[in-house]
Chains A and B, each alone.
Chain A
Amino acid sequence: MKLEIGNILIKDVQFGDKTEVKNATLFVNQKELAEIAGNDDRIKSVEVFLARPGESVRIIPVKDAIEPRVKVEGDGGIFPGFMTGVEQVGSGRTHVLKGAAVITTGRIVGFQEGIVDMSGTGAEYTPFSKTQNVVLKVEPVDGIKQHEHELVVRLAGFRAANYLGEAGKEVKPDEVKTYETKPLLQQAAEFPNLPKVAYVYMLQTQGLLHNTYYYGVDVAEIVPTFMYPTEIMDGAIVSGNCVSACDKNPTYIHCNSPVIMDLYEEHGKTINFLGCVITNENVTLQDKERSSNMTAKLIEFLGAEAVIISEEGFGNPDADLVMNCNKIEGKGIKTVLITDEYAGQDGGSQSLADSTPLGNACVTAGNANQVVVLPPMDTIIGYPEVANLIAGGWEGSLRPDGSIEAEIQVITSATNELGFGFLTAKTA
Chain B
Amino acid sequence: MPRIVHYINQFFAQIGGEEKADIKPEKRDGFVGPGQALNAALGGAGEIVGTVICGDSYFNENLEAVSKEVLEMIRSFKPDIVVVGPGFNAGRYGMACGAVAKIVDEELNIPVVGGLYEENPGLEIYKRHGYFVATGNSAASMRTAMPAMAEIVKKLIAGETPTEGYVLKGLRQNYFAPERGSKRAVNMLLKKIKGEEFVTEYPMPVFDRVDPQPAVKDMRKARVALVSSGGPVPKGNPDRIEASSASKFGKYSLVDIVDLDSTNGETAHGGYDPVYANEDLDRVLPIDVIKEMVAAGQIGSLHDFWYSTTGNGTSVANSKQFAKEIAEELLRDDVDCVILTST
Chain A residues within CB distance 8 Å of chain B: 110-112, 124, 145-147, 195, 197, 206-210, 244, 258-259, 261-263, 265-266, 270-271, 305-308, 310, 314-315, 334, 336, 338-339, 341-352, 354-357, 359-370, 389-395, 407-409, 416-428
Contact = CB atoms under 8 A, between A and B. Distances in A.
Contacts of B185: 259, 262, 308, 310, 336, 338, 363, 419
18 contacts: A112-B270, A258-B181, A339-B202, A344-B316, A344-B317, A345-B245, A347-B172, A350-B207, A355-B206, A355-B207, A366-B174, A369-B245, A390-B270, A391-B270, A394-B245, A409-B313, A425-B173, A428-B172
Nearest to A246: B313
Contact of A343 (B172, B203, B207): B172
A21 B90 CA distance: 73
B172 A426 contact: yes
Given A306-B189, A427-B171, A363 B184 contact: yes
Interface of B: 128, 163, 168-186, 188-190, 192-193, 198, 200-207, 240, 242-245, 247, 269-276, 311-313, 315-318
Nearest to B105: A346
B270 A422 contact: no
Contact of A426 (B192, B201, B204): B201
A361 B189 contact: yes
Given A112-B270, A422-B180, A425-B175, A352 B204 contact: yes
Given A349-B316, A369-B245, A259 B171 contact: no
B193 A424 contact: no
Contacts of A417: 181
A195 to B, nearest CB: 5
Contact of B318 (A209, A314, A336, A349): A349
Scoring B163, B181, B243, B273 by chain A CB atoms within 10 A of each residue's CB, the highest score goes to: B181
A356 B319 CA distance: 21
B279 to A, nearest CB: 11
A364 B201 contact: yes
Contacts of B181: 258, 338, 363-365, 416-424
A422 B177 contact: yes
Q: Binding site of A, secondary structure by majority: helix, strand, loop or mixed?
A: loop
Nearest to A391: B244
A371 B168 CA distance: 21
A392 B271 CA distance: 11
A212 to B, nearest CB: 15
Contacts of B243: 111-112, 389-391, 393
Given A244-B270, A258-B183, A308-B189, 17 more contacts: A111-B271, A147-B275, A244-B244, A258-B181, A259-B185, A343-B171, A349-B318, A350-B316, A362-B200, A362-B201, A363-B188, A394-B242, A417-B181, A424-B174, A424-B175, A424-B176, A428-B163
Given A367-B174, A391-B270, A419 B313 contact: no
